[in-house]
A and B are shown apart, each in its own frame.
Chain A
Amino acid sequence: MFNPMWLFYILVFPGALFCFVAGTLLNGLDRKVYAKMQQRIGPPILQPFYDFMKLMGKETIIPYEANKTVFLGAPVVGFVALVTIMLLLPQFGFTAFGELNADMIVIIYLLTIPAASIIIGGAASGSPYAGVGISREMVSVISFELPLVMVLLAIGKKAGGDGVTFSMKAIADYQAANGAMICQWSMIPAALAMLLVVPCEVGCHPFDVAEAETEICEGPLVEYSGAPLGVFKLNYYVKQLVVSALFAALFLGGKGTGIVAADAAIFYGECLLVTFFSMTLIRATCARLKVEQVFKFYWTVVAGLALVSLVLAWFGL
């Protein structure tokens, strides 16, 4: 039952190492493009990597009020959850664990774990800034959860044909047979909604109410320093990758070329595109919202878009 290839999958591709390298590169490119949009030179593409390495070398201060175990354990749990999602996502024909690939519900719940790890870690640090931060983080999780669920259900209905399906594999198969999901006109509102869900899920700029560094001192991360902070930063990079990959797997699937390396390259390119459109573009053009505005925006506009798709898919369009 245990396959030695699993070790390779978990540790190298598409597991931990790939997540690390691809995530930091993705974030570097994101920051570079962001700088270009502001007519700056911008940091080197490897900047996220330098940031991470520097943080690994810094002193780790554990505040007096903090609960040590939870404070140090939280970022690692978040990272593991993110790597797990990456392992479970189908990339064209290829999935790391073949038949064991999970379905959408697992992915929804695994996606809440990184947010939960930030929240629990922040709570464990004992700072009031973190208290405000976790409150905001939780509200933004509630905000994007509704549209995310509706988008996933719409896709499940679409891919399920007569019935419905939760299986990521069924969705990949459907796209292999019928072309990418985004080419179905009834799914375009859902794709738009998902594009807006992505930045909130990651917690990048207009929706980074939880980590607003200018008002609540980075929120949950206020007391973190050194290596745990480094892992949290890594989580942020990997989250960008994973959520874009989720979008790519849901909407930009297809036949693929049949060669794993080429497929992976195309898939990664799609992730870049998604990152550009959903994160960089919005980040460079919008100012930060207030938390209740975020909530309102997601439960009305974005959820409305997703609902349109859901109803259309329901009528078999």
Chain B
Amino acid sequence: MMNYVEHFPALATMVLFLGAFLVTIFGGKNKTLRIFLAMAAATASFVMVLCVAKYVIIDGNIITYWLGNWTPVKDYAIGIGLEVDSLNAFFALLVTLTTYLSGWYSIKYMSRDEGGDYYYTLYLMLSGSVLGLVLTGDIFNMFVMIEIMTFACVALTAFRNWSKGALEAGFKYLVIGSLGSTCTLTGIALLYAQCHTLNMAQLSAMIAKVGITGNSTMILAFALLITGFGIKSYAVPFHFVAADAYMAAPASVSMLFSGMVNKAGVYGLIRVCYIILQTMGLGKVQTLLVAVGTVSMFVGVTMALNQHDFKRLLAFHSISQIGYVLTAIGLGTALGVAGGLYHAMNHTLFKGLLFLCAGAVYYATGRTNLNNMGGLAKKMPQTCIIFLIAAFSISGLPPFNGFVSKWMIYQAIYAKSAQSFGYLFVTVVALITSTLTLASFIKVTQSAFFGQSRPEFDDVKEVPGSMLLPMWVMAILCVFTGVAPKFVTEKLITPAVNAVMSVNKYIDTMMGAGYTEKITGSAATEISAEQITIGNWTPVMWLVLFGIVLVAFTVVAVFGKSSRGYTNNSKEQPDNKHATFFGGEMATRSTVVGSDLFWGFRHNFKGYFEKLEGIHSGVVNDYAVWAIGALAVFVMYLNAVL
């Protein structure tokens, strides 16, 4: 029975590519038409994915869709298939949401740049390719989508080619991205050589039959695929280009990068490790992923402490947060996957929001260097509030969303540490990373938004409403997912985790019932994850408390008003009484900002920071050495232990 919703996964992808095509043809001259076309495509895709998400996640169906209706013949997949289970739908939702909000934001933000038609073409191509990547059920199709994605990413990174380093970042991204694609393609070719199929479900069944342990071809393919998707998710030895690209791209694109491009890498890793090769049951593979994740966490955050460019700092935080996600999904437990997926979603929300804030600051002042900012809170009050929400979210302060997912991740890691002492260490690193995240956002807050205002910012105004709207939407989503964790886990996360955990159901739905049993000899059983506990965290109670105390304070403040002086200077020129205290001197402009704010911390880690700066040398060859070296290490490690 074909429901009309079952066509939507393919259509949602195509409408974006169609939009890209139409913008190129018709959008060259007419600004309004181009924006209309792009937004229509993004909206249509978003609505379709919402329908799909309801059909798949809430109603519990799995959509299989064979392009051209080429269904499998004699149990062999001959066409390209789309399979949308809750995991795909979850990621598709993130992708289209990001696209849609970024589209709204771009209207004003990109209005000052030339070449808007190219921008919207690339923007739609990027969104379409990532959406295709997360919806497809064919591994070679996945590779093609990765290539389109890399291509669009490079072009968008180098889009503002007049700005400092955009071209350079684009080139570095291209080199490392192509290396990643090559790895992925070689891995796919090896898998094909072994199993003679490209369909992910069928591959999974075949590999389960052959078994990966001791089969060095499979292990090589696995290592290549991990490297390929690792490069796309910018885990640590591959993260150098991410920092450059995020910094150089326009903010609306940086949001796409952190919101969906590296999520695509995470999705790929989940697919490869949990479904296709089914290696997550093996302790050694878990160790590998957790190690990569932990190093990403710590290196990302310490590099972020070192930065003085707003967007570069955020880029390093992306790496750090992806480290959390990788650690969580590397644990191989249901709670770990749940935490990882929750954190992936939260990262999309708060990091996208932070990039939009950086973009708003850039739009208003034309600067991203934190050393040259200050006092924007008075000029841009809404942006400041939004930024604080996002910063507290990413630092994991309750009751915002970062706290919930980080907590699930800690619980998962700590529960695992009953087996091995190493995981205890990972728990400590994760908790310290969270504090350091708070520290570096304090730095941004102090440098950009608070502190004394600069005279050259006197005529800075708040950004227009069409930029604030997507920011507020994301801010509200940040608070909502933090306040109602039970609701979100039940409705969104648990189905996705179940999908990750039930490999055989995935195979059977695609290839026809009974297929798994025929190939592997084990019956298809749906494994449903145990009740994912989110501990005893009831944010609603906390909010009740908060409300009561706030009311009490307000009452005291209102009734005590008559007995208390209260002066607030709103005049342009401050009198002595309301001027900042400077030890008696006239108030002059003097701010404490910039990369050296946490001197007491950096001083003790001088050697570490110097070494880290040396590693991020900016030479593309060094980055290639790191990536290829990591590939070699993965191959050797996996060959040695599997």
A contacting B, Cβ–Cβ less than 8 Å: yes
> When each residue 199-225 of chain A gets 1 if its CB lies under 8 Å from chain B and 0 otherwise, what string results?
000000000010000000100001100
> When each residue 51-62 of chain A gets 1 if its CB lies under 8 Å from chain B and 0 otherwise, what string results?
000001111111
**Nearest neighbor of B445 in chain A, beta-carbon distance:** A123
What is the distance, in angstroms, from B543's C-beta to the closest C-beta of chain A? 10
Interface residues of A in 118-145 (CB under 8 A from B): 119-120, 123-129, 131-132, 134-136, 138-139, 141-142, 145
B418 within 8 Å of A by Cβ? yes
What is the distance, in angstroms, from A176's C-beta to the closest C-beta of chain B? 19
A238 within 8 Å of B by Cβ? no
B607 within 8 Å of A by Cβ? no
Stretch at the interface among B109-117, B140-148, B156-164, B564-572: B564-572
A100 touches B574 (CB 8 A): no
> When each residue 80-92 of chain A gets 1 if its CB lies under 8 Å from chain B and 0 otherwise, what string results?
1001100100000
Instruction: Give every chain A residue within 8 A of B600 (Cβ-Cβ).
Output: 135-136, 139, 209, 290-292, 294-295
A101 touches B451 (CB 8 A): no
> When each residue 100-118 of chain A gets 1 if its CB lies under 8 Å from chain B and 0 otherwise, what string results?
1111011011101100100
Interface residues of A in 160-188 (CB under 8 A from B): 160, 162-164, 166-167
A62 touches B567 (CB 8 A): yes
> When each residue 396-438 of chain B gets 1 if its CB lies under 8 Å from chain A and 0 otherwise, what string results?
1110000100010011001101100100100110011011101
What is the distance, in angstroms, from B261's C-beta to the closest C-beta of chain A? 30
B424 touches A166 (CB 8 A): no
A314 within 8 Å of B by Cβ? yes
What is the distance, in angstroms, from B478's C-beta to the closest C-beta of chain A? 16
**Nearest neighbor of B552 in chain A, beta-carbon distance:** A16
CB-CB under 8 A for A80 and B578, given A67-B377, A149-B431, A291-B600: no
B633 within 8 Å of A by Cβ? no
A102 touches B536 (CB 8 A): yes
A76 within 8 Å of B by Cβ? yes
B565 touches A58 (CB 8 A): yes
Instruction: Give every chain A residue within 8 A of B3 (Cβ-Cβ).
Output: none
A57 touches B407 (CB 8 A): no
B603 within 8 Å of A by Cβ? yes
- Measured in the bound complex, the distance between the Cα atoms of B601 and A209 in whole Å is 13
Instruction: Give every chain A residue within 8 A of B381 (Cβ-Cβ).
Output: 67, 69
A153 touches B414 (CB 8 A): yes
Instruction: Give every chain B residue within 8 A of A84 (Cβ-Cβ).
Output: 542, 545
Instruction: Give every chain B residue within 8 A of A217 (Cβ-Cβ).
Output: 581, 583
B424 touches A310 (CB 8 A): yes
Kindly state the interface size class of chain B when it binds its partner: 35 or more
Instruction: Give every chain B residue within 8 A of A150 (Cβ-Cβ).
Output: 428
- Measured in the bound complex, the distance between the Cα atoms of B414 and A310 in whole Å is 13
- Measured in the bound complex, the distance between the Cα atoms of B431 and A177 in whole Å is 30
A116 touches B446 (CB 8 A): no
CB-CB under 8 A for A222 and B414, given A105-B407, A116-B438: no
- Measured in the bound complex, the distance between the Cα atoms of B450 and A282 in whole Å is 35
A112 touches which of B428, B438, B564 (Cβ 8 Å): B438
What is the distance, in angstroms, from A121's C-beta to the closest C-beta of chain B? 10
* Interface-central residue, A67, A105, A123, by most chain B CB under 10 Å: A105
A227 within 8 Å of B by Cβ? yes
What is the distance, in angstroms, from B370's C-beta to the closest C-beta of chain A? 13
Instruction: Give every chain A residue within 8 A of B536 (Cβ-Cβ).
Output: 99-103, 106, 167
Kindly state the interface size class of chain A when it binds its partner: 35 or more
What is the distance, in angstroms, from A288's C-beta to the closest C-beta of chain B? 14
- Measured in the bound complex, the distance between the Cα atoms of B564 and A125 in whole Å is 20
**Nearest neighbor of A119 in chain B, beta-carbon distance:** B442
> When each residue 542-560 of chain B gets 1 if its CB lies under 8 Å from chain A and 0 otherwise, what string results?
1011101110110001001
What is the distance, in angstroms, from A4's C-beta to the closest C-beta of chain B? 12
A63 within 8 Å of B by Cβ? yes
- Measured in the bound complex, the distance between the Cα atoms of B545 and A97 in whole Å is 12
- Measured in the bound complex, the distance between the Cα atoms of B595 and A135 in whole Å is 11
Instruction: Give every chain B residue within 8 A of A146 (Cβ-Cβ).
Output: 428, 432
**Nearest neighbor of B416 in chain A, beta-carbon distance:** A164
Instruction: Give every chain B residue within 8 A of A129 (Cβ-Cβ).
Output: 581
Residues of B within 8 A of A (CB): 375, 377-378, 381, 384, 388, 392, 395-398, 403, 407, 410-411, 414-415, 417-418, 421, 424, 427-428, 431-432, 434-436, 438-439, 442, 445-446, 449-453, 535-538, 541-542, 544-546, 548-550, 552-553, 557, 560, 563-569, 574, 577-583, 587, 590-593, 597-601, 603-604
Beyond A103-B536, A145-B432, 16 extra complex contacts between A and B, CB < 8 Å = A56-B564, A62-B568, A63-B574, A65-B451, A67-B450, A70-B450, A106-B535, A109-B397, A116-B392, A116-B395, A123-B442, A128-B590, A153-B428, A163-B415, A290-B600, A299-B604
Question: Could you write out 5 A-B pairs with CB less than 8 Å apart?
Answer: A106-B537, A110-B398, A139-B439, A153-B427, A226-B566
